[in-house]
Structure 1
Amino acid sequence: MRLVFAGTPEPAVPTLQALIDSPRHEVVAVVTRPDAPAGRGRHVVRSPVGALADEHGIEVLTPQRVKDPDFLAKLTELAPDCCPVVAYGALLPQVALDIPPHGWVNLHFSLLPAWRGAAPVQAAIRAGDEITGASTFRIVKELDAGPVFGVLTEPIRPQDTAGDLLARLAVAGADLMVSTLDGIEDGTIRAVEQQEVDGVSYASKITVDDGHIDVTQPALAVDRLVRAVTPEPGAWAEFRGERLKLGPVTVVDAEALQPGEVKVERKRVLVGTATQPVQLGDVQAPGKKKMAATDWARGARVEQGERLS
C-alpha cells in the first residue's frame, strides 16, 4: 500500500523503520511535529521520526496544524491508501481522516479500551497492572475509541520503568502495525468495535508535578509512581526546601520509619513511607550530577530525623 506515516518521538521510530523495510508497502511521506529546541543548547532539531525519514530520502511534512489547507491539499496530492500513526502528538480533524480510503490506523500502547489517552504506559505501571500491550485501531473523532484491528500483550515486570516497557512495546508494536496493514491490504482483517460497557480508563498527559512522590502513600505505590515517571518527566521530592530528583527505588523489608524520614546506613539510604521503607537508588540534587544515594547522603551530611516531602 501507499502510506503516509505520522509520528514524532523515539517510540515511533521502530514502526517507521519496519514499514520502510516492508516489501509490501511504500512510505511516500512522513508527517511529524515541527522542529523544536532541545538539549542544553536549545538548538532546533528534527524529531526522531523526521530524522529517520531524512536518512531514507522520504519527504517530511511538518504542519503547524493538521487542518491547514495547504497541508490537506498536499496530503490529497500524495494520495495515500492508508496513514499509519504512532505518537504523532496532534489531533486529527475529520477532513484529514477522510482522505485515505483505509483511514488512519493508530498504534496505541495499551489494551484498548483500557488506558485511552496520552500516557498509557505510565498509567498501567502506576496502577499496578500486571499485563499491558498494544492495539492497532482506526482513528475516529472520539479519543482512542475507534474499532480495533489487532492486539498484543506484554507482561509488566516488577522492575520496569516506563522507559523500559515502552521500548519493548515499540518494537513489538512495529510488527503488529505491519501485520495490520498487510491484513487491510489483503482484506483478511476486520476491525472490531471496542466494548465500552466496562474496562474503559483514561491516561492523561504526565506533567512534572505528577512526578512528586507522596511519602504518606504505601511503599508499593511510591515504587510504582517512581517507575511510571522514569525517565520522563522524572520523580522528585523536596529535601531542605529544594527538589531532589529520584531514580527507581526498591521496597525493602526493614524497620518502619516515619513517612519521609531519611535513614542513612553504611551501604544504603532508606526513606519511610506509610508501610515499609524504600531504598533510594540514584539521586540528583540541584546543580549536581546523578549519583548513588549513599554518596549524596554523605556529601549532604544528612542528619538523623531529616525528611523528604
Structure 2
Amino acid sequence: MRVVFAGTPDPAVPSLERLIESTKHDVIAVVTRPDAAAGRGRKVSRSPVGELADAHGIPVLTPRRPSEPEFLDALAALQPDVCPVVAYGALLPRPVLNIPRFGWINLHFSLLPAWRGAAPVQAAIAAGDDITGATTFLLEEGMDTGPVLGVVTETIRSTDTAGDLLERLAISGAALLEATLDAIESGEASAVAQSSEGISHAAKVTVDAARIDWSRSSAAVGRHIRSVTPAPGAWTRIGDVRLKVAPIDTSEEILDSGHIVVRKDGVFVGTADRAVRLGDVQPQGKKLMKALDWARGARLTDAAVAQ
C-alpha cells in the first residue's frame, strides 16, 4: 500500500522505522510538525520523525495547520491508500481525513476508551493502573473515539516512569500498527465500536500540573512523580528554591505533610501517611544531583518545608 505517515516525537519513530523496513508497504511521504526551537540554545531543528524521513530520502510535509489548502492539495496529489498517525500533534479536519482510501489509522498509547487524550501514559501511571497498552483505531473528528482495529497490552511496573513505559509501548505499538495495516491490505481488518463504558480522559500535563502535592499519600506522590518523569518533571518549592524531584522511595518515617528531615541516610519529606526519601533532585539552573548532597550544600535545616 502507498503510505503517508504522520508523527512528530521520539515515540513515533519505531512505527515509522518498522513501516520503512516493511516489504508490504511503501512510505511515500511523511507529515510532521514544523521545525521548532528546542533545548537551552533554542536551536531550530527537525522533529525526530522528520529526521528519520530525511535520512531515508522520504519527502516531508510540515504544514503549520493541516487545514491549509496547500497541504490538502499536496496530500491529495500523493494518492495515499492509508495514513497511519502516531503522536502527530494536531487535529485533522474532515477534508484531510477523507483523502486516503482506507482512512487515517491512529496508534494511541492506551486501551481505549480508557485515557483518551494527550497524555494517556502519564494518566495511567498517576492513576495506579496495573495494565495499559496501545490501540489502533480509525481516526475520526472526535477525540480518540473511532472504531478499534487492534490492541496490545502492557503491564505497568512499580518502578515505571512515563518515559520507561512509553518506550516499551512505542516498540510494541509499532508492531501492532504494522499488523493493522497488513490486515487492512488483506481485507481481514475488522473495526469494532468503542465501548460506552470505562471512558476516561488524559489531559496534557502542564508544568503547573507537575507540581507535587505533599498532602497526598506517599503512594500517590510516588505515582505522580513517576508519571511526569522525564517531562515536564515533578517539582516543588523549598523556600525560594524551585527543585525538580526524581522518583522517590517510601519509608516508615512519619512526618507532617511537606516537612523535611535531613539525616545521614537521606532527605525525608512528609506526606499524608508516611514520609518519602528523595533520590535525585535538580535545583533550577543546575545539574541533577543526590538529594543529600544538595541538602548539605544548601545547609537545609529540619525547619524547611516543601510546598
What's the TM-score bracket when you normalise by the shorter of the two chains? Answer: over 0.9
Deviates more, 1:86-95 or 1:265-274: 265-274
Aligned equivalent of 2:218 = 219
Deviations 1:13-34 (A, max 9, x none): 0000000000000000000000
Deviations 1:93-150 (A, max 9, x none): 0000000010000000000000000000000000000000000000011110000000
1:78 matched to 2:78? The reply is yes
> Match of 2:238, as an amino acid?
F
CA RMSD of aligned residues (A): 0.7
> Match of 2:210, as an amino acid?
G
Deviations 1:157-193 (A, max 9, x none): 0000000000000000000000000000001110100
Aligned equivalent of 1:113 = 113
Find the residue that maps to 1:125 and give its secondary structure.
helix
Deviations 1:173-223 (A, max 9, x none): 000000000000001110100011x10000001100011000010000100
Aligned-pair CA distance for 1:263: 1.0
The aligned length equals 307
Aligned equivalent of 1:282 = 280
Looking at structure 1, the residues matched to 24 and 67 of structure 2 have their Cα atoms a distance apart, in angstroms, of 30
1:40 matched to 2:40? The reply is yes
Aligned-pair CA distance for 1:294: 0.8
| TM-score of the pair, normalised by structure 2 | 0.99
> Match of 1:239, as an amino acid?
I
Looking at structure 2, the residues matched to 37 and 287 of structure 1 have their Cα atoms a distance apart, in angstroms, of 19
Instruction: Within 5 Å, give how 1:13-162 maps onto structure 2.
Output: 13-162=13-162
State percent identity of aligned pairs: 60
The gaps in structure 2 that reach 5 residues or longer are none
Instruction: Within 5 Å, give how 1:140-219 maps onto structure 2.
Output: 140-196=140-196, 198-219=197-218
Aligned equivalent of 1:305 = 303
Aligned-pair CA distance for 1:224: 0.6
Looking at structure 2, the residues matched to 231 and 210 of structure 1 have their Cα atoms a distance apart, in angstroms, of 14
Find the residue that maps to 1:135 and give its secondary structure.
strand
Aligned equivalent of 1:229 = 228
The gaps in structure 1 that reach 5 residues or longer are none
Aligned-pair CA distance for 1:255: 2.5
Looking at structure 2, the residues matched to 30 and 88 of structure 1 have their Cα atoms a distance apart, in angstroms, of 11
Looking at structure 2, the residues matched to 302 and 78 of structure 1 have their Cα atoms a distance apart, in angstroms, of 62
| TM-score of the pair, normalised by structure 1 | 0.98
Aligned-pair CA distance for 1:289: 1.3
